Amino acid sequence: MIHLLCCRINTTGPALLLRRSSRSVEICRFSRSHTSPVYSLQSSNVVRHFKSLAQRTFLYCSPKTPRPSRSALRFILAPALLTVSGRAFCKVAYCEADVNNNTVTQTDTKDSSPEFNWHLLWEFVKPQLVALIGAVVLAFGAAILNIQIPLMLGDLVNVVARYLREQAGNYVHEIRIPAMKLLAMYGLQGLLTSGYIVLLSRVGERVAADMRKTLFSSLIRQDVAFFDANKTGQLVNRLTADIQEFKSSFKLVISQGLRSVTQTVGCFISLYLISPKLTGLTVVVLPCLVGGGALIGSLLRKLSRAAQEQVAKATGVADEALGNVRTVKAFAMEDRELQLYGFEVDKSCEMNESLGNGIAIFQGLSNIALNCIVLGTIFAGGTLISSNEMSPGDLMSFLVASQTVQRSLASISILFGQVVRGMSSGARVFEYLALAPTIPISVGGRIPYHSLIGRVDFMDVSFSYPTRPGHQVLKKLNLTLPPCKTVAIVGESGGGKSTVAALLERFYDPNNGVVMLDGLDIRTLDLSWLRGQVIGFINQEPVLFGSSIMENIRFGKPEASDAEVVNAAKQANAHGFVMSFPDGYNTVVGMERGVTLSGGQKQRIAIARALIKNPSILVLDEATSALDAESERVVQEAWIGPQEGRSVPAGS
């Protein structure tokens, strides 16, 4: 396995390739024939960083291009990869290289092509197996009937032709039986089709719902470092778009895939039995037409995807402008935003117009081609009828069966693309399903409430954020937060105050050293108990949920009574302003991040949310920064007074 790392490097010049050897990372000029080293990063830190990767690690560095796409990167490096390894398969990750400081920081360690996990799929499908088998059987039955229908149509036409030729006998009597048979066939085919669609949509929806719940449960249990490294939008995309795409592909493959393959094979046999000569002609013409159609179709789909992306881009511009409307207005940038949005909308309009033209040409061409096939079949079939090699009914059967083959082949060609897209969406979902959090939530011991003292010790704690391993935030920090005391941590911006709070809350584990509660390493304690009952944490930018104030405060203690909620709000000096709202505690906040409340009001609700669980340790990370002096005094009295006897470390 080869690892490709796409690197942004703080130097100027042409694109560079980074090569890992056993003791250094070399930055080389890259050309197809050879690579010549330019810099050599030899710090043990850099080399250690690559230890976890495969022996041959390449980094593509470009000072100008910000972040080439993975496929572009593979394309650029394909000759080098093939020469070096003889294998084309590679993993791609992104990193930043700083040649002055001799550091390389990997910013994205994800495997670019997660693998499809059949075992996990089976776990989701297993509970729906009976319905799935039912759907497969019904779809297969419908396909078999679709093969029979052209033959029966032929019988019917033969009766009509015979009557026209002989003008004798009772027409209604003769046609009744084949017509009734055909009618029954149509009815049964309709029933089977409805049946498999009902079953399949049930299976698809339930599998998708199970996947969503399991993926959400896996995501919500990941530790904070995971969310530092992955954008929320991308994670939400896996929950929505990826599962949706997978579900559609899954249903399509079972329904259309099974039906189309069965129909193609069955109808081809029918065609051959009806007329080997005409079939020979069809075998030459039909695949060419379907192939041509598939090619144009795939071009149009590409165009359609690009147009959709452009629409999304335009929406993104509008979303950003409307979401930050206060900033836009404060800088009087309405016209500029309008210009930006207009530019993107015009581009999407242009692309959609081209798409419309493409579809129009495609439809026109396919109509001509299809009608020519019908005309050609009738012409060739008529010749065979005139030489008594075929009956009119056979020609009718042939026409309908060949149309079925052509439709089935077209849908198979579309299905191929759908299968690839569905599998890659599924792989993206499965990637996070199988991911275990590095910090387990409900493992470890608890200190009985009556013997909890609340002394916190940071001993020789060193820490770097996982997303920036080269940047050490805390270096051998020793700090004691004694019980029954309020401790303020003061320091320059970016000095690591919030990081201390984050380590105490165990959002991250230190790289070295230990954080202790009452002399016990917090890594040995039950995390859900530590966060749920021991520590009350209010961060710099409290976020409220889109529900009532009552529910927001109760989030800290779900079983709290209304009286407890009101009491906590009073302690946080929030009761007064809450009661001034017409709906009081039932006022819904949190829409657009609680925009209906002022910064200070939001902070007071967040403080009430932390106070309601009566925590033994209260961490305020600049939680009162938006309060006026009087409110801050009331709040501080509230939590220092009744909490006397407990340790209260506070970031400030």
Ligand X SMILES: Nc1ncnc2c1ncn2[C@@H]1O[C@H](COP(=O)(O)OP(=O)(O)OP(=O)(O)O)[C@@H](O)[C@H]1O
Nearest distance from C-beta of residue 623 to ligand X, angstroms: 12
List residues bridging with 462 in a β-sheet: 512
Indicate left, alpha or beta for 294 from its phi (over 0: left) and psi (-120 to 50: alpha): alpha
| Among 221, 468, 485, 531, contact with ligand X (rule: CB under 6 A) | 468
Nearest distance from C-beta of residue 509 to ligand X, angstroms: 14
Instruction: Show the site string, 211-240: x = touches ligand X by CB under 6 A, - = not.
Output: -----------------x------------
Near ligand X by CB under 6 A, which window of 92-100, 235-243, 319-327, 464-472?
464-472
User: In the complex with ligand X, which residue's Cβ is closer, 233 or 582?
Assistant: 233
Size of the site for ligand X (CB under 6 A): 13
Near ligand X by CB under 6 A, which window of 154-162, 407-415, 463-471, 610-618?
463-471
User: In the complex with ligand X, which residue's Cβ is closer, 266 or 496?
Assistant: 496
Per CB under 6 A, does 499 bind ligand X?
yes
Near ligand X by CB under 6 A, which window of 76-84, 467-475, 570-578, 585-593?
467-475
Per CB under 6 A, does 495 bind ligand X?
yes
Near ligand X by CB under 6 A, which window of 150-158, 356-364, 415-423, 460-468?
460-468
| Among 35, 498, 573, 603, contact with ligand X (rule: CB under 6 A) | 498
H helix and E strand count, the chain: 20, 15
Cα radius of gyration (the chain): 34
The tokens describing 349, both together, are 């309009």
User: In the complex with ligand X, which residue's Cβ is closer, 187 or 495?
Assistant: 495
User: In the complex with ligand X, which residue's Cβ is closer, 448 or 494?
Assistant: 494
The tokens describing 406, both together, are 């052509």
CA–CA gap between residue 573 and residue 472 (Å, rounded):
39
How many CB atoms are located within 10 Å of the residue 330 CB? 9
List residues bridging with 16 in a β-sheet: 29, 61
The tokens describing 470, both together, are 């080269």
The tokens describing 206, both together, are 């339930």
User: In the complex with ligand X, which residue's Cβ is closer, 71 or 512?
Assistant: 512
CA–CA gap between residue 258 and residue 411 (Å, rounded):
11
User: In the complex with ligand X, which residue's Cβ is closer, 335 or 492?
Assistant: 492
Per CB under 6 A, does 620 bind ligand X?
no
Near ligand X by CB under 6 A, which window of 496-504, 525-533, 567-575, 595-603?
496-504
Residue linked to tokens 């496929």: 71
Near ligand X by CB under 6 A, which window of 109-117, 123-131, 324-332, 461-469?
461-469
The tokens describing 395, both together, are 């020609």
Q: Is 623 exposed, middle or buried (0-12, 13-18, 19+ CB in 10 A)?
A: buried
User: In the complex with ligand X, which residue's Cβ is closer, 134 or 649?
Assistant: 649
| Among 187, 190, 291, 491, contact with ligand X (rule: CB under 6 A) | 491
| Helix (H) / strand (E) containing 550 | helix 549-554
User: In the complex with ligand X, which residue's Cβ is closer, 541 or 564?
Assistant: 541
Say if CB 519 and CB 493 are below 8 A apart.
Answer: no
User: In the complex with ligand X, which residue's Cβ is closer, 22 or 493?
Assistant: 493
| Among 216, 465, 545, 581, contact with ligand X (rule: CB under 6 A) | 465
Q: Helix (H, G, I), strand (E, B), or coil: what is residue 284?
A: helix
User: In the complex with ligand X, which residue's Cβ is closer, 77 or 503?
Assistant: 503
Nearest distance from C-beta of residue 299 to ligand X, angstroms: 43
User: In the complex with ligand X, which residue's Cβ is closer, 157 or 607?
Assistant: 607
| Among 399, 473, 517, 549, contact with ligand X (rule: CB under 6 A) | 473
The tokens describing 246, both together, are 């997978």
Phi, psi angles (nearest 5°) of residue 11: -145, 165
| Helix (H) / strand (E) containing 475 | strand 472-481
Closest CA to 4 of 117, 136, 93: 93
Near ligand X by CB under 6 A, which window of 49-57, 89-97, 112-120, 488-496?
488-496
User: In the complex with ligand X, which residue's Cβ is closer, 451 or 493?
Assistant: 493
CA–CA gap between residue 462 and residue 535 (Å, rounded):
22
Closest CA to 423 of 261, 247, 302: 247
In angstroms, what CA-CA distances link 108 with 103, 301, 510, 511, 512? Answer: 16, 30, 21, 19, 23
| Among 497, 557, 602, 604, contact with ligand X (rule: CB under 6 A) | 497
| Among 43, 244, 467, 511, contact with ligand X (rule: CB under 6 A) | 467
CA–CA gap between residue 290 and residue 273 (Å, rounded):
23
Half-sphere exposure of 329 (CA within 13 A, CB side): 5
Which residues in this chain contact ligand X in the complex, by CB under 6 A?
A: 228, 465, 467-468, 473, 491, 493-499
